Amino acid sequence: MPARLCVLKISPKTGGAVSKDDVLENVESALKEEHLDVSYEDYIRPEMLWATENSEKIASALDVIKVVPKGGYIMGLLGGEKKKGKIKYAGLVLEQYSINGDMAYLKLTGLSKPYQAPIQLMKHYGVNIYKVYYRGLINPFKCKPYEIILSEKEVSLKDFLRDLVNFNKQGMTADDRKKIEGLINELKVSLDAFDRNAAYTLYRCNRAFTAAVPEDLERAVSESHVVYIQCKSVEQAYYYTAALNYLAYKVVERKRAFIRDQFAKPLIAVIVAGLAWKDVPEDLRSEVSNISQCLSKRLQWRPYPDQRKALEETAQTEEFKRIMKLFDKQVMGMMDEALTLVSATSSKTIQEQDEPGQTSLF
């Protein structure tokens, strides 16, 4: 049975927007009833998904394996920031890394030079070189990881860093020593590793939720500023990458402001827009996926301080223009409802720059 929707856009009391002071008995005459071509259950499904914040239900609606609204927590990734009263400390991200015989040479973010670390010492503490997918390195259809030193146990990583200082005590500057000691004090790690044989779509969890498919999953981990979905196939991963970038561009195109915290909201917006995998004809999703994969392979990663600019440039490609045409026909009249979940109306263009600590080293 179609849902009945009662809409009130103008307050009979003030003649302006509806306010919290309006009560039902005073506005009944201004209500306009609309008949929607969906059942009540289907109409409230997206709102229920968001209200319950149930990742399993969202994954089921998207027909994917799982949804992770927030990646692993890593404190100390890029080191401390230059702020008044704050101590600048080293970061886990490697600016340089090489191996010569049984010795590794590591230059952590913020240090003045590389320092020696015996391979045996790294093995003793279970320290390895990982790849971390990070918000600041995700662009529309393209992403890249940082190389980072990590261990499965936080305490082991801290002990390794202490021994690194002791091993290099003759050649380490006092400033570098203080920065590593600061990192040890600040460091917190909750390792969330990707399955190297799986297919993923990941996107930024704050503001502009641009998305990409990670290509290198060998010893790769997520980070708390990234949302990801584990898909059932590579085809599905490229499809959802296209759907998320499409909706993100619609926010820019309509000069709306991205809300700050996105997390799973863009995925619910995909469902509301009618772009979930099982809601789209097979030939359309196959075509979108193929175009998305071609575009992802063709694009070269480069830094953008503003993801709006990245989306606008991507929108000039023939591949993305084709994706937009295909999705425009599918979405029909549900765009406003979808965008309301991830953005707000704005009378001015807002630059979506990376926040402190999000800036890429590249």
What DSSP assignment string belongs to 187-256?
-EE---BPPTTSEEEEEESBSS--EE-----TTEE--TTEEEEEESSHHHHHHHHHHHHHHHHHHHHTTE
**Which phi-psi region, left, alpha or beta, contains residue 160 (left: φ > 0; alpha: ψ -120 to 50)?**
alpha
- What's residue 192's pLDDT? 94
Does a structural domain hold residue 356?
no
One domain for residues 161 and 200? no
98 and 171 together in one domain: yes
pLDDT of residue 334: 85
Whether 201 and 333 map to the same domain: the answer is yes
Confidence of residue 51 (pLDDT cuts 50, 70, 90): very low
Q: Is the pLDDT of residue 163 over 50?
A: yes
Residue 358 lies in a domain: no
Q: What is the pLDDT of residues 14-49, one digit of tens each?
A: 555 556 566 666 666 666 666 655 554 555 555 545
Same domain, residue pair 137 and 58: no
Position 7 pLDDT exceeds 70: no
C-beta separation of 210 from 183 below 8 A: no
Can you tell me the mean pLDDT for 301-328?
Answer: 96
Q: pLDDT class for 293, splitting at 50, 70, 90?
A: very high
Does one domain contain both 206 and 173? no
Residue with tokens 């707000």: 344
User: For the chain, how many structural domains are there in total?
Assistant: 3
* Residue 132 pLDDT grade (very low, low, confident, very high; cuts 50, 70, 90): very high
**H/E element holding 47?**
helix 40-52
Same structural domain for residues 213 and 169?
Answer: no
- By percentage, how much of the chain surpasses pLDDT 70? 79
207 and 143 co-located in one domain:
no
pLDDT at 245: 98
- Average pLDDT of the segment spanning 189-204: 96
Cα 60 to its chain centre, rounded Å, is: 20
Q: Which domain holds residue 303?
A: 46-69+196-218+229-345
Residue 356 has pLDDT above 50, yes or no: no
Residue 362 covered by a domain: no
In a domain, 359, yes or no: no
Can you give the pLDDT at residue 85? 57
Whether residue 57 lies inside any domain: the answer is yes
Mean pLDDT of 138-157: 96
Same domain (yes/no): 54, 152: no
Q: What is the pLDDT of residues 267-279, one digit of tens each?
A: 999 999 999 999 9
**138 in the same domain as 81:** yes
pLDDT grade, residue 54 (50/70/90)?
Answer: confident
Look at residue 350 and tell me if it is in a domain.
Answer: no
**Closest among 195, 227, 232, 234 to 213, alpha carbons compared:** 234
Q: Tens of pLDDT along 210-244?
A: 999 999 999 999 999 999 999 999 999 999 999 99
Residue 223 lies in a domain: no
> Are 92 and 300 in contact, with CB atoms under 8 Å apart?
no
Tell me: do 149 and 207 sit in the same domain: no
Do 64 and 78 lie in one domain? The reply is: no
Same-domain pairing of 315 and 205: yes
> pLDDT at residue 329 above 50?
yes
